[in-house]
Structure 1
Amino acid sequence: MKLLIFGYGFSSKAFAKAVPSDWEIVATTRSPEKAAKMTGVTARIFPGDDLAQDVAEATHILISAGPDQGRDPVLAELRDAFAAAKPEWVGYLSTTGVYGDHQGGWVDEQTPLTPTSERGEARVATEGEWLDLYREHGLPVHIFRLAGIYGPGRGPFAKVRSGNARRIVKKNQVFSRTHIDDIAQVLLASIARPNPGAAYNVCDDQPAPPQDVIAYAAELLGLPVPPAIPFEDAEMTPMGRSFYSESKRVDNTRIKEELGVKLLYPDYHTGLTALLSAESDR
């Protein structure tokens, strides 16, 4: 089997580690410096290298590269190559931001896509382009809408230890989250049970206010819980503030019922506890 990954980042690296050891893996990065440091995979520079042959040869393809200036960079360069390709499985990593703001209400894969940000709008457009290839050329595309991602090296502990963590409180604000190891197992489950054209929410069972997650991380570390700061009084970058413009609870029933997934980390309590334990072991 040959796996081709566009965008060798946090989530796709976890997936690459989870696939069978005898798979050939080709992965892209934007810079030669990063390519020189990539181990265990064949590195390609993208944009830059001609990947048409890799697309033609790959049995499995993961698109982890996000839109660039509102356009999907992979389709901008290689749409014709994908239209002619015959892989067994293609996965596109999207975001639950495609649903927009639901004021804390629940969303599932049947919820209309009503993004409220430019990033969300770009994701909706890109999902549509990939699904057009499925409808028009039979490309076996699967869409994975990821909630807030955390995992080793990407969690709240460093900020809590440094004293820079903030518990910003906004009424009715909740987020859904997912551990990278659960992303990897969802992708593997989809490969085992492909359903081209399907979309899946990838998240845990416990949407929660962000201040609760920070508080639990502090408790695990035995440090004082940072004081609550009202959203209206918090100094934030425009990007940081934009994340608080949407509130929703994301339903994950489909990955369980259709793909048979049993989450490794069904809530942030188990996820953060495991991360801290792994830190201690290292």
Structure 2
Amino acid sequence: MRLMIFGAGFSGRTIGKHIQGNFQFIGGTTRQDKNFSQLRDDGISPFQFTGEAFSDVLSQELKDVTHIIQSISPDKGGDPLLPLISHKLLTLMPNLKWIGYLSTVGVYGNHDGEWVNEETVCKPVSKRSIARLDAENAWTSLCNANDLPLAILRLSGIYGPGRNTFVNFEKGKARRLVKEGQVFNRIFVDDIARAAKLLMTQNISGIFNITDDEPAPPQDVVAYAAELLGVGPPPEIDFQTADLTPMARSFYGENKRVSNQKIKDLGFEFLQPNYRSALAYLHGRYHT
């Protein structure tokens, strides 16, 4: 089996590291060649892809890939990969057996704190989530037309080594924003990789929420991190009066609890089922 990860960033690189030994070849694209050394360190063969065209060397490699992960966010023109492959998918990748698309739980929109699952009607609010749902639908149509299994992984807020609340404390940017009733789901990056590994190695199709067990108020996460660090938590800040960028404020316009039961029904077990176990793990590994 041979895998190409389009958009080998934080999640894509972690997927590549977790499937070492399961694939004969793992490639990953990046916009800038300065990222090549990092990809090689993670066991991923690097290819430059800016979203405009495939290089000759990338096109040659795609002829042999059996699996792809699409992790590149939509831009103003939509999904950058689809226009290049939509009318010639199996000509470009004749050995393709499975496609995975990394999406977001943002496609569900706001549900006023109620539980949602993969059967819930999507009503995205933000432009970025609308674009994600459009991309999901386009990938679904493409895979149906080519009789290929497609797994859509809807991810909640991603964190892990180098991207977590402890980093915010180190940078002096930790804040406890409080909006009554607001909760978020989160997902540890290694669990994204493990879920992707399960789905791709078994060529499983469908939509799956890849998210933790416990949607929680964001201020509780910051307070727990402070407790682990042995410092006082930052003061609470009222969301309504907080100085936030429009994008940061828009995240708080969506309030829901996301179920992960469907991926568990496949036998999947989360390494970090909630923010407490994940932060304790990160603290023990990187802060002791």
Q: Which amino acid aligns with 1:213?
A: V
After superposition, the Cα gap between the structure-2 partners of 1:245 and 1:121, relative to the gap in structure 1 and judged at 3 Å, is same
Change (3 A) 1:34 1:189: same
Distance in 2, matches of 1:268 and 1:169, equals 17
Displacement of 1:88 = 2.2
Assess, with a 3 A threshold, how the Cα gap between structure 1 residues 92 and 214 changes in structure 2: closer, same or farther: same
> Aligned AA for 1:173?
Q
Correspondence list, 1:176-187, <5 A? 176-187=185-196
- Structure 2 counterpart of 1:64, one-letter code: S
Paired position in structure 1 for 2:231: 223
Secondary structure at the aligned position of 1:73 is classed as coil
* Partner Cα separation in structure 1 for residue 209 and residue 267 of structure 2: 14
Question: Which among 61, 71, 76 is matched to residue 64 of structure 1?
Answer: 71
CA contact (8 A) 1:189 1:260 kept: no
RMSD of aligned alpha carbons: 1.6
Q: Tell whether the 8 Å contact from 2:13 to 2:39 is kept in structure 1 after alignment.
A: no
- Residue in structure 1 matched with residue 160 of structure 2 by the alignment: 151
User: 2:36 aligns to what?
Assistant: 35
Aligned 1:3-22 pairs, distance under 5 A:
3-21=3-21
Report the counterpart of residue 92 of structure 1 in structure 2. Answer: 101
Structure-2 separation of matches of 1:209 and 1:110:
24
The separation in 1 between residues aligned to 2:156 and 2:184, in whole angstroms, is 8
List gaps (5 residues or longer) in structure 1: none
Aligned residue for 1:189? 198
8 Å contact from structure 2 (residues 177, 219) kept in 1: yes
Superposition deviation, residue 70 in structure 1? 4.5
Deviations 1:139-159 (A, max 9, x none): 221100000000000000122
Q: Deviations over 1:231-256 (max 9, x none)?
A: 11100111111111111110000000
Cα distance in 2 for partners of 1:14, 1:103 equals: 32
233, 238, 252: which is aligned to 2:241? 233
TM-score by length of structure 2 reads 0.92
- Hey, what's the Cα distance between the residues in 2 that align with 1:164 and 1:45? 33
**1:187-233 Cα deviation digits (max 9, x unpaired):** 1111243333x100000100001000000000000010111111111
* CA distance in structure 2 between the partners assigned to 1:232 and 1:37 by the alignment: 40
Matched, 1:266 2:273: yes
Check conservation: 2:4, 2:67, Cα contact below 8 A.
yes
Cα distance in structure 2, aligned partners of 1:188 and 1:36: 23
Report the Cα offset of residue 113 of structure 1: 1.1
Q: 1:279 to 1:184 in 2, by over 3 A?
A: same
Partner Cα distance (2:130, 2:183) in 1: 21
Candidates 255, 261, 268, aligned match of 1:253: 261
Match of 2:113 in 1: 104
Per-residue CA deviation, residues 23-55 of structure 1 (Å, 9 max, x unaligned), is 211110111222355313221111342444333
Q: Secondary structure at the match of 2:177?
A: strand
4+ long deviations beyond 6 Å: none
Change (3 A) 1:277 1:267: same
- The secondary structure found in structure 2 opposite 1:61 is strand
Q: In structure 2, give the amino acid aligned to 1:137.
A: N
Q: Secondary structure at the match of 2:183?
A: coil
Alpha carbons 1:83, 1:133 under 8 Å: kept: no
Which shows bigger deviation, 170-179 or 68-77? 68-77
Match of 1:131 among 124, 128, 140: 140
Residues 38 and 184 of structure 1, relative CA distance in 2, 3 Å threshold? closer
Q: What residue number does 2:216 align with? A: 208
- What secondary structure does 2:26 align onto? strand
| 1:33 partner amino acid | K
Question: What is the aligned-residue identity percentage?
Answer: 44
Q: Which amino acid is 1:242 matched to?
A: S
